[in-house]
Amino acid sequence: MKQLENVRTFGGEQQVWQHQSATLNCTMNFAIFLPEQAKTEKLPVLYWLSGLTCTEQNFITKAGAQRYAAQHKVIIVAPDTSPRGDDVADNESYDLGKGAGFYLNATQQPWAKHYQMYDYIVNELPVLIAEHFPVNGKQAISGHSMGGHGALTIALKNPQRYSSVSAFAPIVAPTQVPWGQKAFQHYLGDNQTQWTQYDATALVNAETRLPIRIDQGDKDSFLTEQLRPELFLDACRAHHVACEYYLRQGYDHSYYFIATFIGEHIAFHAKALYQDPRTA
């Protein structure tokens, strides 16, 4: 592990680290915000998954989350959105290849060798974080757009690992929208029965218990074609699953939207993380 950045902010430290990922077969960066209390206490972790084209930098420079993470004593880990490096397969479009890992395990060529973001986020990264940082084992997960898809699917598939999940403008039904269909066909192949394991709307079920919150701007230009939150909300209703949903008037898909409501999301997760009765 190599430290690339360490900057004081809101009394804590915003760090960026580089490490060799065995899961992704490449060198990866991740960002971690450590509140001041992390010097003396073990704290819970909120994972933040970013959207298409992002790196580990977007969230930490634009969301203003550190203020609330410091206030609520929550560590935030923000990984990159795909494998990186010259020998990693890529595509010229912004919604496939680098910056567009979709938080799944690719089975198709040329992607399978590196595009294993699901295993990286669920398994490798938490072990690495636990080895190097003062965490107490409690985890929550959130994300934006493609990262909202990642957060919802990962939490729904691993409810024992996360106290809560939230998303800003998530892709809730990738198997039914162009972004998801394109990515899944390339990464997972034509057999659509393989796709539903990474579709939040297909995954939510009567056993789902963890707190879920979604914020969505009604001026988001991707709302009706790519995001379609009503599909997930209908599935929640059908299974009698609670989902806090806020349609925000006048807000778009940008970090200005995230910055406005990230404080509420961190408070939501902090409540779940600090009330979670499970021992670490």
Active site positions, annotated = 145, 220, 253
Q: Are 253 and 169 in contact (CB under 8 A)?
A: yes
Decide: is 7 part of the binding site for a second copy (CB under 8 A): yes
Strand, coil or helix: 15: strand
Q: Are 122 and 158 in contact (CB under 8 A)?
A: yes
Q: What is the dihedral of CA 20, 24, 27, 29, to 10 degrees?
A: -100
Residue number with CB closer to a second copy (13 or 124): 13
Among 238, 244, 256, 267, binds a second copy (CB under 8 A): 256
Number of residues that bind a second copy (CB under 8 A): 22
Residue number with CB closer to a second copy (23 or 66): 66
Decide: is 246 part of the binding site for a second copy (CB under 8 A): no
Q: From CA 188, how far away is CA 198, in angstroms rounded?
A: 10
Rounded least distance, CB 146 to a second copy, Å: 20
Residue number with CB closer to a second copy (7 or 267): 7
Decide: is 252 part of the binding site for a second copy (CB under 8 A): yes
Sequence-distant (6+) residues with CB within 8 A of 37 are 43, 73
Q: From CA 249, how far away is CA 268, in angstroms rounded?
A: 21
State which of positions 55-74 bind a second copy (CB under 8 A): 61-62, 64, 66-67
Taking CB under 8 A as the binding criterion, the range among 81-89, 177-185, 255-263, 270-278 that sits at the site for a second copy is: 255-263
Q: From CA 53, how far away is CA 136, in angstroms rounded?
A: 31
DSSP calls for 154-197: HHHH-TTT-S-EEEES----GGGSHHHHHHHHHHH-S-GGGTGG
Decide: is 229 part of the binding site for a second copy (CB under 8 A): no
For 132, the token pair is: 């190097």
Rounded least distance, CB 132 to a second copy, Å: 21
Rounded least distance, CB 260 to a second copy, Å: 5
Residue number with CB closer to a second copy (51 or 83): 51
Decide: is 259 part of the binding site for a second copy (CB under 8 A): yes
Residue number with CB closer to a second copy (109 or 254): 254
- Runs of H (alpha helix) within 14-167: 57-62, 66-72, 117-119, 125-132, 146-157
Could you list the residues that contact a second copy (CB under 8 A)? Answer: 7-11, 14, 61-62, 64, 66-67, 217, 219, 250-252, 254-257, 259-260
